[in-house]
Amino acid sequence: MSGTTNPCWFPGRGKNWRRILILLILGLLLWAELSGCSKLASKQIKAGFKSGGTVLQITNTGSWDWPNLAAKINRYEKAGPYGLIITPSLKSGQSVNLALSSFQSKNGDRFNPAKNKVETVSLIVAGEERTFRFN
């Protein structure tokens, strides 16, 4: 018997350590999936929009209630976006009608629906932001 030891879980000069590492990683991924670490995907902001002249209607089409809402229109405009903060919650399936003239830029300019059209709407809900484009 030589002076080297060969632990039983590393037989064959350590070839099994790769298998153990792969099984450990797969186990951690499965645990993360089952423990709810992927719940953010189910909290994606889903919305429907209708724009009729001077009013923008936003509908929560997702499966969860929005605790608060902030909206921006024309985010990519040179002058910057026109923002509006809406604090009340919006339940799943509910809609809110917003006067387009109530959206205001950082400079204090109000959105003029007679001169400008809505190109994008960005919604910020529970710290997550999603931008929707209009064609």
Q: What is 35-87 written as a DSSP string?
A: HTTTGGGGG---EEEEEETTEEEEEE-SSS-BS-EEEEE-TTSTT--EEEEE-
Least confident among 13-27, 62-76, 78-92: 13-27
Q: Which helix (H) or strand (E) holds 131?
A: strand 128-133
pTM of the complete model: 0.66
Topology (CATH) of 43-133: Immunoglobulin-like (2.60.40)
Least confident among 74-78, 94-98, 118-122: 74-78
Q: What is the pLDDT of residue 22?
A: 80
Question: Does residue 17 carry a pLDDT above 80?
Answer: no
Domain boundaries, the chain: 8-37, 43-133
Reported confidence tier of residue 15, pLDDT bands at 50, 70, 90: low
Residue 114 neighbours by CB distance under 10 Å: 8
- Give percent of the chain with pLDDT exceeding 70: 77
CA distance 48 to 61: 6
Q: What is the mean pLDDT of residues 92-104?
A: 93
Using DSSP, state whether 27 is helix, strand or coil. Answer: helix
pLDDT digits 0-9 by tens, 40-84: 445 789 999 998 889 999 999 999 999 989 999 987 776 678 898
Q: What is the pLDDT of residue 130?
A: 92
Residue 121: beta bridge partners? 73, 132
Q: What is the pLDDT of residue 91?
A: 93
